[in-house]
Amino acid sequence: MISDRLFDPITIGKLELKNRILMPAMHMNMCRKFAITDQLINFYAERAKGGVGMICVGYATIDELSGLPGNIGAHSDEFLPGLTRLAEVIKKDGAMACVQLNHAGRYNFSMFLGGKKPVAPSPIPSRLTRETPRELEIEEIPVLIQRFADAAGRVQTAGFDAVEVLAGTGYLISEFLSPLTNQRQDQYGGSLENRMRFGLEVIQAVKATTGDDFPLLVRINGNDFMPGGIGREELKAFAVQLVDAGVDALSINVGWHEAQVPQIVTKVPRGVFAYLARDIRSAVNVPVIAGHRINDPDVARNLINAGFCDMVAMGRSLIADPQLPNKAREHQENKIIHCVACAQGCFDNLFKMKPVECLCNPRVGKELETQPKKTDHPRTVMVVGGGAAGMSAAIAAAEQGHEVVLHEQSHRLGGQLHLAGAPPGRDEFLYLVNDLQEQLIDLNVKIILNSTVDGKLLAELKPEALILATGGISISPNIPGAGLPHVVQAWDVLAGKVITSQRVAIIGGGAVGVETALFLAEQGTLSGEELKFLLVNQAETAEELYRLATTGSKQVTLIEMIDKLGTNFGKSTRWSMLQDIKRSDMDTRTEAKVLEITPTGVIIEQSGQRHEILAETVVLAVGTKAQNPLQKIAAEQHILCQVVGDAKQPAMVFDAIHQGFSAGRSFL
């Protein structure tokens, strides 16, 4: 029998890990004034129970200017008790415990530093913070290096098994490394040798403090994706120097926070950046870890088996499903809840200064208080509506021990998740439909499709509790001509129920309008397989292949009343969506009022002028309204009832799943 290399042990330095899955450091924003909280302890305790080989927490600060109050503090002995508790809870269930140390450099914000400016190698403004940092004086640099070493010693004292230094992503060490942000004229600037000096001296100082037997990992970029920055060959040279300085493993990251290449969102193909890890692995003799968009055990196995890496970093995958390693090891991969890479609860929450949450997993950040508890009073619970909210509600109620029946009026579960998964690069939402359905089956929820629930059926079945997740319906605006035969709804376009003509105008530039526009703009472009064939056979130039990949067969015009498109997208998703719109060369009209839809197009008013946009198909994407005819009937029949999702108030998938979860748990 062929062994599963994903679960083969591996050694980092002298430390043996039980498998090759690492949960990498991610900013959870669950600390308070740098102090570790019970919330963070409970979060990582659940991941440790899930069977991961090593958990790296962080990042952790090395001084008061290096991070935010929501980061883990490692810059003072006052944080040792919390660090010790965290190490103990991770190690309790067999995972190895590691802490990542970092200094944000110019990525910090003066508002969190008491008005002090963030520091950096050179005073180069940051597009991320919109601030210009203060240049470090030469005498400050050895102090910072020693603070890295002191923090590493503190981590070791707290009982962690290893320490990691972050030397990428646009933070301080990578700022020294890159000529884009390092314009110094001293021994820390200029040549690559000089620009590597700060990072290498940090590593040497950490090793001198912790000793050769304490494993040291470094997380570096395989490519910064920053024009004028540092590329693959120089980063490979840096990796070699790091290993020569005593580093025991390299974890390969990608891109800076300012980079214009999408790195974490749904459209990024699974495991696509692992080629960068393979590049570095070919030059070093220590374990190399690949990360980014590895959300499935098969992807992880294939990367290891193909020699791209020795281990995989699965971060948001383990936020979405802490039990992913155990399920993979026990051949229950059909039960895995895959991260959909929406970034709505994890990365976007950081911009809102909120602790990390998860669209797929409503328990994140509330692990202890949301443990499923079997009720002493099982009820018959009817859930009406098999979309995201309804499935989430049914799962939560079944976990509590209730007898749950889910009624869905269409022929399949998933509701609007099928629409969310229709645009290019959004098919992870279709996997979510399957994942939720597998949970329902595993919990013995009875599913009745093609079932229309009305007052008569309610009276006949007499459920003890009712959850209404009947969704919403598209709004038809009060615009002259909205009833013409060539006017269709965006939902019908995404669902494949209508065929659009070559020239299309879309009214409404919110999330649905943008997704529909990109869905239509993609039609007529070449697929990845087709492009690879033409590229390998040198049939066309790179410029022509780019055009064929981005130029479709439809002429799309997107019309929005306000001055911005896609305002209801999360911050992490919106910029890449707008980038795709620009790349597709579609016509966008903002601050445009639709006056009339005619047989030949749309009349708009923009900047005080009337314009006619020619269109053979007009698509309406102007919003959703709740569809909830059963709530009043349930009240008349005295049925305990809750309303969730769009049936309550139109919102995002995140809201639907979380509301459904809360409703399902509420019937104790």
Assign 2 a pLDDT band (cuts: 50, 70, 90): low
Q: Please check whether residue 139 lies inside any domain of the structure.
A: yes
The pLDDT tens digits for 234-275 are: 999 999 999 999 999 999 999 999 999 999 999 999 999 999
Supply the mean pLDDT for the chain.
96
In percent, how much of the chain has pLDDT > 90?
Answer: 94
Q: E strands along 352-437, which residues?
A: 380-384, 403-407
Both 418 and 540 in one domain: the answer is no
**What is the predicted pLDDT for the residue at 515?**
96
339/241 Cα distance (integer angstroms): 35
Q: Which two tokens stand for residue 332?
A: 């229950």
Both 612 and 639 in one domain: the answer is no
Q: Is pLDDT above 80 for 554?
A: yes
Say what angle helices 80-91 and 141-157 make with each other, to 10 degrees. Answer: 50
Neighbours of 146 (CB within 10 A): 15
344/615 Cα distance (integer angstroms): 34
User: What's the average model confidence in pLDDT over 319-325?
Assistant: 98
20/54 Cα distance (integer angstroms): 8
Residue given tokens 């395989």 in the structure block: 222
Both 297 and 153 in one domain: the answer is yes
301/647 Cα distance (integer angstroms): 41
The pLDDT tens digits for 603-624 are: 999 999 999 999 999 999 999 9
Q: Is pLDDT above 90 for 667?
A: no
659/560 Cα distance (integer angstroms): 30
Neighbours of 78 (CB within 10 A): 10
Q: Pick from 59, 332, 348: which is nearest to 219 by CA?
A: 59
Q: Please check whether residue 366 lies inside any domain of the structure.
A: no
Both 164 and 121 in one domain: the answer is yes
Q: Please check whether residue 357 lies inside any domain of the structure.
A: no
| Length of the chain in terms of residues written | 668
Q: Pick from 446, 468, 499, 443: which is nearest to 619 by CA?
A: 499
Which ranges of 182-255 does DSSP label H, i.e. alpha helix?
A: 192-210, 232-244
Q: Is pLDDT above 70 for 1?
A: no
User: What's the average model confidence in pLDDT over 69-79?
Assistant: 97
3-state secondary structure of 626: strand
Both 453 and 480 in one domain: the answer is no
3-state secondary structure of 595: strand
Count how many domains the chain has.
Answer: 3
Q: Is pLDDT above 90 for 38?
A: yes
112/564 Cα distance (integer angstroms): 29
Assign 668 a pLDDT band (cuts: 50, 70, 90): confident
CB distance 66 to 108 below 8 Å: yes
Q: Please check whether residue 371 lies inside any domain of the structure.
A: no
176/195 Cα distance (integer angstroms): 6
Both 338 and 484 in one domain: the answer is no
The pLDDT tens digits for 197-212 are: 999 999 999 999 999 9
Both 517 and 428 in one domain: the answer is no
**What is the predicted pLDDT for the residue at 500?**
96
**What is the predicted pLDDT for the residue at 314?**
98
9/53 Cα distance (integer angstroms): 9
Q: Please check whether residue 372 lies inside any domain of the structure.
A: no
**What is the predicted pLDDT for the residue at 3?**
77
Question: Which of 311, 336, 351 is the last residue before a domain boundary?
Answer: 351
Assign 114 a pLDDT band (cuts: 50, 70, 90): confident
Q: Please check whether residue 85 lies inside any domain of the structure.
A: yes
Assign 112 a pLDDT band (cuts: 50, 70, 90): confident
Rg (CA), the chain: 27
Neighbours of 377 (CB within 10 A): 10
User: What's the average model confidence in pLDDT over 14-33?
Assistant: 97
User: What's the average model confidence in pLDDT over 186-194?
Assistant: 97
Both 320 and 231 in one domain: the answer is yes
Distances (CA, A) of 594 to 463, 480, 530, 561: 47, 9, 39, 8
Question: CATH number of the domain that 412 lies in?
Answer: 3.40.50.720
Is the peptide bond preceding residue 59 cis, with omega within 30 degrees of 0? Answer: yes
User: What's the average model confidence in pLDDT over 93-108?
Assistant: 96
Q: Please check whether residue 368 lies inside any domain of the structure.
A: no
Q: Pick from 659, 661, 642: which is nearest to 650 by CA?
A: 659
149/166 Cα distance (integer angstroms): 13
Q: Which two tokens stand for residue 23?
A: 């949960």
CB-count exposure of residue 135 (10 Å: 0-12, 13-18, 19+): middle
Which residue type is seen at 29? N
626/559 Cα distance (integer angstroms): 24
CB distance 100 to 56 below 8 Å: yes
pTM for this entry: 0.95
Both 438 and 336 in one domain: the answer is no
How many Cα atoms are found within 13 Å in the side-chain-facing hemisphere of 482?
14
Question: CATH number of the domain that 347 lies in?
Answer: 3.20.20.70
Question: Which of 351, 370, 398 is the last residue before a domain boundary?
Answer: 351
Q: E strands along 20-155, which residues?
A: 21-23, 54-61, 72-73, 96-102, 119-120, 134-135
Q: Please check whether residue 367 lies inside any domain of the structure.
A: no
Q: Give Cβ neighbours of residue 326 (< 8 Å, ≥ 6 apart).
A: 50, 51
Both 598 and 655 in one domain: the answer is no
User: Which domain range does residue 263 map to?
Assistant: 5-351
Both 90 and 227 in one domain: the answer is yes
Both 82 and 222 in one domain: the answer is yes
Question: CATH number of the domain that 539 lies in?
Answer: 3.50.50.60
